[in-house]
Amino acid sequence: MLELKKISKSYQTGSFVQQALKDVSIEFRNNEFVAILGASGSGKTTLLNIIGGLDRYDSGDLIINNKSTKKFKSIDWDRYRNNCVGFIFQNYNLIPHISILDNVEMGMTLSGVSSKERSKRAKEALKKVGLLEHAHKKPNQLSGGQMQRVAIARALVNNPDIILADEPTGALDTKTSIQIMDLIQEIAKDKLVIMVTHNPELAHEYATRIIEFQDGKKLSDSNPIKKEEQDTSTLKIRKTAMSFATALKLSFNNIKTKKGRTLLTAFASSIGIIGIGLILSLSNGFKIEVDRFERDSLSQAPIIISTQAMNMDEETMEKISTNNHLEKYPTEEKVFVQDDVVQTMLHTNILSDEYLNYIKKMDSKNLAGISYQTTTGFTIINHSSDGYQLVAGSSYWTILPTNPNQNENGIVEDNYDILAGSIDESVPGLILQVDNKNQIYESTLKALGLSGKEVTFHDILNQELKVVFNDDYYIQYGEAFVPSQDLEKLYHSDHSVTLKVQAIIRGKEDKEMLTSGSGIAYTNSLTELVISKNKDSKIVRMQQEKDYNVLTNQPFDNSSMSTNTKDTILGYLGAEVAPSIIYLYPKDFDSKEEITSYLDQYNQGKEEKDTVQYTDMAAMISSLSGNIMDAITVVLVAFSSISLIVSSIMIAIITYISVLERIKEIGILRALGARKKDIKRVFNAETFIIGLCSGLLGILIAYLLTIPVNQIIENLSGLPNVAKLNIIHAIILIIINVILTMIGGAIPAKMASKKDPVEALRTE
């Protein structure tokens, strides 16, 4: 079953070559107790390591099952060690951080025996060596003799055909040595036991065959195999493989012995995670906060459709920069003409009847308010202690948006508190808006015909103004018209209509974004009244016929920004003209989406010049703030990622140190048949555990830090609970951390797997 044929082995240290074995040939019986005797340095350990497949021979051959092992691969040796050989060492070589039972089970664990079977067999083996009651102790809780018995149990448990013992009693006192020798002799009954010793008495007392060594050569053999002896037995070689769970258990137990260091490592390498976690939770929280804020306060900001629209979409922006393909700092002696930026961006919207009808057909359920800004002018006269005055400010007044859904809240009710009076859109009237300190400008007060530093709501609501109409106000003077000067007469004329402040309103506290400021608004019915009264007035009819300004007797100026065009003058005279701006107030965020998509639909399939462009300020602000926030987040995360990289380098160093510390364990595992792959797995498991710990720790700390961070933010800005750690982010961060740490530990783990098992066992 086992035969050495002219085995030679030499070690090279620097330029010095030490021949440890020279042409050694021995044939072993499958059941005998062989003692190898020899002085220190005679090559006994080397011989044993070669027989056990831990070390490789230089020349000659080791015959196993009548087959040469010259072509054996690393994996074949691993299987051979695991299945066929049990090692017993002078210094026991137990893995210190796992229990006696686990130590004994390890060989079976490597060959994939089920845990129940393992435990059963390990306990049997421990019982055989008389240590069953110590099964759950750690090796350092036992005496030397007990540890050697554990090693014997470990060597026996996989039921190997060969037991190799290298000076098993070398470290024990005489009495204990005898007990151990008795045990080994017991084993030798049905196995091949090869025991190295430098104690001739023990050898002669127990062994059935004694081989003497000197300077790497066989000196004598007391019982060599005779020609007629036939060996028919064979060694059974099965597969071995360590599961990741075993690797995890080994590394977990190892880590448990250095809790403090592992915790510190995990903490140090979790700093990157903490940073990224905090940044993400802050930006996540801010995004939610800003979204909410924008939904609340900006969703009702009107969509503006003006005759002159600023077009800032991507296409236009691209158009503006089309000349960008031109070379910078050209040497050509030419000047290149660029498109006028403002002209390119400016889009003239034609608010045709077709378009106005399209707007009117819009589903009013999405609208909280709508208003048409026209140039319709009206003439108002107030009466105060100073006498009668024309109200010049009417062109600065705003038109009150009408509520398209009578039985629901409109834009005004949604955003303003009505402090006094009530709004009746069907009655021509004024609405006074005060700011959040109930202030209005003096000019506003004067326009109402009032004065003083403080005015009561009552006085304002009781103030009467009069609207006068063209036929009373304008007096024809040849080809032109001039305004009448007798305001008192106009004020008291039967033709003029009384106008009152219907209500005093103030922006709601939480709607400051939309409602700050003060001023006067008027109901749409005032516009309608003026238009209906002025429609048939002489001056309007005349202006419609003439192609010059009847108020100044001057020709019109039709350039784009002119206020002296026929339409403008007709509007000024209170005739019906097309609106110049339409304000659409969406009910909420979702309504806005529907409104804009309805408006977009109108433009579909139309030529660019026939499209009507709208301006959505809220969307512009949102996308701007969103982009800025994303950019800041990316920069901060990138910075924190550096600490992640640093921590993976640190993990690489820590793993390297751990490899150095666990070299002995590597040797033991290899002696028990662990593959290189399995060793790699042990260290990958260690970095996996550290990566997982630091990831979890980082996330936990980041989460805990959000509490004081939120407190600070709340104190600074009044916003509660801004920082929110997203669970998905947390999981992704932990996974990334585990991957990075495992990458960091991969090189040292690979190094560990390449360690020579013989050298590994030699280290102390």
**Residues binding ligand ADP (CB under 6 A):** 11, 13, 18, 20, 38, 40-46
- Closer Cβ to ligand ADP, 56 or 287, answer by number: 56
The partner in contact with residue 519, picked from ligand ADP, Mg ion, none with C-beta cut-offs of 5 to 8 angstroms by kind, is: none
Name the minimum Å distance from CB 707 to ligand ADP. Answer: 58
Which candidate, 143, 104, 142, places its Cα nearest to that of 123? 104
Chain position carrying tokens 């609405």: 431
Q: How far is the CB of 45 from Mg ion (least distance, A)?
A: 3
Token output for 18: 């030490």
The nearer residue to ligand ADP, 216 or 449, going by C-beta atoms, is: 216
Q: Which two tokens stand for residue 7?
A: 């085995």
How many residues are present in the chain?
Answer: 764
- In this complex, which beta carbon is closest to Mg ion, that of residue 45 or of residue 82? 45
d(CA 200, CA 193) in angstroms, rounded, equals 16
Q: In angstroms, rounded to a whole number, what is the distance separating the alpha carbons of residues 715 and 717?
A: 6
543, 569 in Cβ contact below 8 A?
Answer: yes
Distance set, CA 685 to CA 127, 259, 260, 268 (Å): 32, 16, 19, 19
Instruction: Work out how close the CB of 47 gets to Mg ion at its nearest, in angstroms, rounded to a whole number.
Output: 9
How far separated are the first and last CA of the chain, in Å rounded? Answer: 34
The pairing of strands 398-399 and 308-310 is unpaired
For Mg ion, the closer of residues 44 and 81 by Cβ is 44
Of 45 and 240, the one with the shorter C-beta distance to ligand ADP is 45
- Is 197 near Mg ion (CB under 5 A)? no
> Rounded to an integer, what distance in angstroms lies between the CA atom of residue 604 and that of residue 626?
28
DSSP 338: P
Residue 46 binds which entry of Mg ion, ligand ADP, none, with Cβ cut-offs from 5 to 8 Å by kind?
Answer: ligand ADP
Taking the complex as a whole, how short is the minimal distance between the CB of residue 761 and Mg ion, in angstroms? Answer: 11
The site partner of 13 among Mg ion, ligand ADP, none (C-beta below 5 to 8 Å per kind) is ligand ADP
Residue number with CB closer to ligand ADP (42 or 648): 42
The rounded distance, in Å, linking the Cα atoms of 411 and 585 is: 7
Strand partners, 162: 85, 192
Distance (Å, rounded) from C-alpha 404 to C-alpha 422? 18
- Binds 232, which of Mg ion, ligand ADP, none (CB < 5 to 8 A, cut-off by type)? none
Residue 80 C-beta: closest distance to Mg ion, Å: 21
Alpha-helix runs per DSSP H in 314-395:
314-320, 341-345, 353-360
Q: How many residues bind Mg ion (CB under 5 A)?
A: 1
For Mg ion, which is the closer residue by CB, 45 or 403? 45
**Which residue's Cβ has the minimum distance to Mg ion?**
45
- Measured CA angle at 720 (ends 715, 725), to 5 deg: 115
Quick one: 13 or 560, whose CB is closer to ligand ADP? 13
DSSP class of residue 217? E
Least Å distance, CB 10 to ligand ADP, is 8
Ramachandran angles phi, psi of 142, nearest 5°? -110, 160
* Pairwise CA distance, residues 99 & 91, whole Å: 17
Amino acid (one-letter) located at 270? S
The distance of closest approach from Cβ of residue 758 to Mg ion in the complex, given in angstroms and rounded to an integer, is 11
Q: How far is the CB of 44 from Mg ion (least distance, A)?
A: 5
By CB under 5 A, the residues from 36 to 55 that bind Mg ion are 45
Residue 266, Ramachandran bin (φ over 0: left; ψ between -120 and 50: alpha; else beta)? alpha
- Give least dist CB 56 to ligand ADP, A: 12
- Rounded CA-CA distance 476/550 in Å is 10
Residue 38: name its binding partner from Mg ion, ligand ADP, none (Cβ under 5 to 8 Å by kind). Answer: ligand ADP
Strand partners, 24: 7
When CB distances are held under 5 to 8 angstroms depending on the partner's kind, the choice from Mg ion, ligand ADP, none that residue 129 binds is none
18 binds, among Mg ion, ligand ADP, none (CB under 5 to 8 A by kind): ligand ADP
Residues 510-529 that bind Mg ion (CB under 5 A): none
* Bridge partners for 480 per DSSP: 477
Q: Between the CA of residue 392 and those of 26, 378, 448, what are the distances in Å?
A: 125, 10, 11
Q: In this complex, which beta carbon is closest to Mg ion, that of residue 47 or of residue 682?
A: 47
Minimum CB separation of residue 43 from ligand ADP in Å reads: 4
Q: Please, what is the minimum distance in Å from the beta carbon of residue 18 to ligand ADP?
A: 5
Choose from ligand ADP, Mg ion, none: what does 43 bind? Cβ within 5-8 Å by kind. Answer: ligand ADP
Closest CB to ligand ADP among residues 126, 196: 196
Q: Which is nearer to ligand ADP, 275 or 667 (CB)?
A: 667
Q: Report the C-alpha dihedral over residues 629, 634, 640, 641, rounded to 10 degrees.
A: 160
Of residues 51 and 573, the one with the C-beta less far from Mg ion: 51
CB of 196 to Mg ion, least distance (A): 6
Residue 604 interacting entry, from Mg ion, ligand ADP, none, C-beta within 5 to 8 Å by type: none
Q: What angle (nearest 5°) sits at the alpha carbon of residue 329, between those of residues 327 and 334?
A: 80
Residues that bind Mg ion (CB under 5 A): 45
